[in-house]
Structure 1
Amino acid sequence: MTTQDDTDVDAINPIVLQRADPCVLRHDGAYYFTGSHPAYDRIVLRRAERLEDLQAADEVTIWRRHDDGPQSHLIWAPELHRLDDAWYVYYAAAPDEAVTAPGPGADDTFDHRVYVIENTADDPFTGQWVERGQVDTGWESFALDATSFVAGGEQYLVWAQQHADVKGHSNLYIARMANPWTLATAAVELSRPEFDWETKGFWVNEGPAVLVRGGRVFLTYSGAATGIDYAMGLLTADAGADLLDPASWTKSAEPVFVSDPAAGQYGPGHNSFTQTPDGDVVLVYHARTTTEISGDPLWDPNRHARAQLLPFDADGEPVWGTPVPDTRPTPTSVDVL
């Protein structure tokens, strides 16, 4: 499988340095990229005709954190979507007191919520990004990593959120949407941390991403703390099923994408999906190249965005494989690029 210039997708990694939680959207012949900036104070956007050119592409800041209040710190995991001829970015933000938070949970100060900005211009680098505010998910608690998809003509939101009645730091929820910033239905729990691989360091289900293909809905997510134990899990459903019914979904007991010491890749996760110009599926994710992290992993900027082709078998099942080795130099210091 090749891109439009006969360059192997697996030979361009990392596609962007020091940008975790990568989201790549292909639209009108270009790749649009966003991800968590290591300073956690802004939302950035890049554009290039080829995945391999995203690293050199100009990075534009389209939104910055507020000086104070609920959107003033730790801006995480922006996701870019094109819906109803407008652009939307879902992101998580925390209030002032979150700056010294040691980790998500009831006993510390991470207190993120999910927010949305909108731009109705044809080009997201022009026009005005307007704040549509917080997505009301039904209860107030640590919430993050919203993604959106359309199936059967309906828009859905999937996100991670803590619930007082469930052990752990975040579970996965789904709801149908009335518009890109308003839920039309109550949240339904799809998954909670329950397997050993999901509960290393933190009890986490987060970073959902959705691929609708061949009459199936593939919902990936990430579990464990964000060091070398971080890995990707999978839920699947028939596209024609009631996606708001937990019984429609099957959860894999084992992770589908994990660290590969032979490739020098550790903690792969928080993925998104895009495609080549020929329509082949591309898996986008972040990973580290080291197992030694000084201090809190949150503040080490060296999670890099990567991409590789995702093949499918004769039954239409993804063949996940393992992270491919890097072919570009990566930073070894904690300096932010």
Structure 2
Amino acid sequence: MNTNREYTNPLVEQRADPWVYKHTDSYYYFTASVPEYDRIEVRRALTIEGLREAQPVVAWRKYESGPLSANIWAPEIHYIDGKWYIYFAAARTTETKEGLFDHRMYALENTSANPLEGEWTEKGQVRTAWESFALDATTFEHRGVHYYVWAQKDPEIDGNSNLYISAMENGWTLKGPQTMISTPEYPWEVIGFKVNEGAAVLKRGGRIFMSFSASATDHNYCLGLLTADEDSDLLDAASWTKHPEPMFQTSEENGQYGPGHNSFTVDENGEDVLIYHARNYKEITGDPLYDPNRHTRAQRLRWNADGTPDFGVPVRDGVK
């Protein structure tokens, strides 16, 4: 008998930018930014709720110096052509904060059936059209093509990051055109910083939905949505339409601030689940990026009558 699954938030404390992937082995694989920004962890469980207590395994640690030595951000784990990949962003150690936004994107590969075992091999930097600030890569497959979506600073465009899409040659190499499909333009996308980042893809009902995060990482952080028809050319910017309002944002009433950087998964019954991070307080001392209390959260993703996703509002802590 199918029953509705319940979650009590926060699901995993002090894990930002959460990524949950349900594999064909029925396990949920979880990775996220750790507060120290110094390593990449992976854990797994047979239920989403089980991720709370699952033991993490360190897949990779940062270097002491060089381009992979600081601010290891937003890892995602994917399974492509029989191999596991982790995409992440890393910067180089500097003595000033000016190096904070010096990130580039990298890939790790693991050929083991269980990615908590075996060796993660560095495949190097995922090269794009520019050598500039780049992060938050995700990937999805559509009609036999693997697509890579990421956030990057175009030196010719004012702002911090735009969203780009490209086809992939293999798990760590892009090919063909690289198209900008979203740039911060609405007031809710430009608070503090002009940011589009943290894309995640969901396919349903003949459409491809792409969520993304916008604005600074404090209480202004929120989720936006792009939509494309499944028959359209996904490498054509004109195929993507941005919803003019944010889809998911701070709920003062529920004590949830800055919800964002989400992923999508399904529960044990195949129902869609939204995974995201948020804080349970508004006022932050210092740089929000160094506040460790962006906790991983989960809640049911519902659907509107017109076939678009209904993100709802972030659920209050401690409520099933």
State the alpha-carbon separation in 2 of the partners of residues 284 and 168 from structure 1: 27
Question: 1: distance between equivalents of 2:161 and 2:200?
Answer: 15
Which residue of structure 1 lines up, in the alignment, with residue 222 of structure 2? 231
Match of 2:11 among 9, 12, 15: 15
Determine the structure 2 residue equivalent to 1:63. Answer: 60
Alignment counterpart, residue 137 of structure 1, candidates 128, 134, 137 = 128
> What is the deviation of 1:184?
1.1
Q: Which structure shows the bigger proportion of residues in strand conformation?
A: 2
| CA RMSD in angstroms, aligned pairs only | 1.4
Which stretch of structure 1 is more off in the superposition, 317-326 or 71-80? 317-326
Structure 2 residues without counterparts, runs of 5 or longer: none
Tell me, yes or no, if structure 1 residue 39 matches structure 2 residue 36.
yes
TM-score (norm. length: structure 1): 0.92
Contact 2:229 2:239 in 1 (8 A): yes
Amino acid at match of 2:143: G
Match of 1:125 in 2: 116
Instruction: State the Cα distance separating 1:167 from its structure 2 match.
Output: 0.8
Corresponding pairs, count: 318
Matched, 1:292 2:289: no
The CA distance in 2 between the partners of 1:59 and 1:122, in whole Å, is 17
* Residue pair 1:152, 1:239 contacting (<8 A) in 2 also: no
CA deviations on 1:253-307 (whole Å, 9 max, x unpaired) are 1110000111110100000000012211111000000011111111110000001
Aligned counterparts, 1:118-267, within 5 A: 118-267=109-258
User: Are 1:82 and 2:79 matched, yes or no?
Assistant: yes
Q: CA deviation at 1:156?
A: 0.3
SS at match of 2:176: coil
Aligned to 1:332: none
User: Where do 4+ consecutive residues of structure 1 move more than 4 Å?
Assistant: none
Q: Normalising by structure 2, what TM-score?
A: 0.96
Q: Distance in 1 between matches of 2:132 and 2:244?
A: 27
How far apart are residue 313 of structure 1 and its match?
2.4
DSSP-derived class of the 2:211 partner: strand
> Which digits, 9 at most, give the CA deviation of each residue in 1:145-198, with x for residues without a partner?
000000111000000000111110000000000111000113100011111111
Q: Retained in 2: the 8 A contact 1:138–1:186?
A: no
Q: Partner letter of residue 34 of structure 1?
A: T
Residues 43 and 312 of structure 1: is their aligned pair in 2 closer, same or farther, counting only changes over 3 Å?
Answer: same
